[in-house]
Amino acid sequence: MKNIIFITCFLTLSVVSIAQLSAGKQEILYGVITKESLVAAPFDKWFITNYDTYEPNAEVVNSLKKLDTKDISIQIFLGTWCGDSKREVPRFMRVLNELSFPLQKVQIVALGSGDSLYKQSPQHEEDGKGIFRVPVFIFYKKGVEINRINEYPAFSLEKDMLTILSNKPYIPNYTSFGIIKNWLSDGILKDENIAARSLAWQLKPLVGGENEVNSLGYLWLKNGNKEEALKIFQINASLYPESANVISSLGEGYYDTGETITAIQYLEKALELNKDPQLVKGILKILYKAKGIKE
């Protein structure tokens, strides 16, 4: 029931498209930008500070310098409204500077803020790339993606980069997001013959906590993909069957797809499992709606 949606961290423009928009009192960059865009006010306040204070590991940088990167290009997706982007992107650019990596082989795309499933840019450079959280650093070899860093590094930016460019095994954060996105595209989440339990088994090694998958369920629900959202809640319930929050979300998914009796069963079960007083009000709100009771 607890609608925990991670938003840590979507105009037609020219080839290098820079739109400086006002989001309330906060200005954001929107579209394809350059490093120069980030060192200009008001973005320089966080970019320059985080760039100058980051000291990449010299030993790792030396190892990176020995690699052949002539066929490597990089795409960076960030939100200038996003705390993680403000921290990691300047650091990443500092690593590239230490490597003398040519910036003409780096495309930086600033995405719009909001809680929609896909963060977007004006010319949709993010299309088909499964950008759910920012920042994202995608590494390409001869135009083909070889791996990516999602939101923050597994170790450090330079260490992760060395692992990726050395063709060593690397599992980025939130791998589950990309897998679920592919399931959506392939129609797997709407296939009644595919059990949520089977999908949960595939995701289990990749999920860091109950809110990771739950957040995607609510995002799909908000976008009107109710059947797919229900399957995601079912998957999460298979992963976390004793969580009142997860079970109440499953009840909410059933309620939104019109399966009221099943929704009531799961919402009542969530109340039995619940040990968090703050959850009770939210669970009861949906339960009363399912039972047709006025609060």
Express each pLDDT in 246-287 by its tens digit.
Answer: 999 999 999 999 999 999 999 999 999 998 888 999 999 999
Across 89-103, 235-249, 279-293, least confident range: 279-293
Please say whether the dihedral angle defined by the alpha carbons of residues 166, 167, 170 and 173, taken in this order, is positive or negative.
Answer: positive
* Average pLDDT in the chain: 88
Average pLDDT over every residue of 8-31:
54
Of 166 and 181, the structure prediction assigns the larger pLDDT to: 166
Instruction: Please give the pLDDT value at position 1.
Output: 57
Instruction: Please give the pLDDT value at position 34.
Output: 96
185 band by pLDDT with thresholds 50, 70 and 90: confident
* Cα–Cα distance measured from residue 87 to residue 89, given in angstroms and rounded to the nearest whole number: 6
pLDDT digits (tens, 9 = 90+) for 165-175: 999 999 888 88
Asked if residue 7 has pLDDT above 50, the reply is: no
Instruction: Please give the pLDDT value at position 90.
Output: 98
Q: Which domains does the chain have, with CATH numbers?
A: 19-173 (3.40.30.10), 176-291 (1.25.40.10)
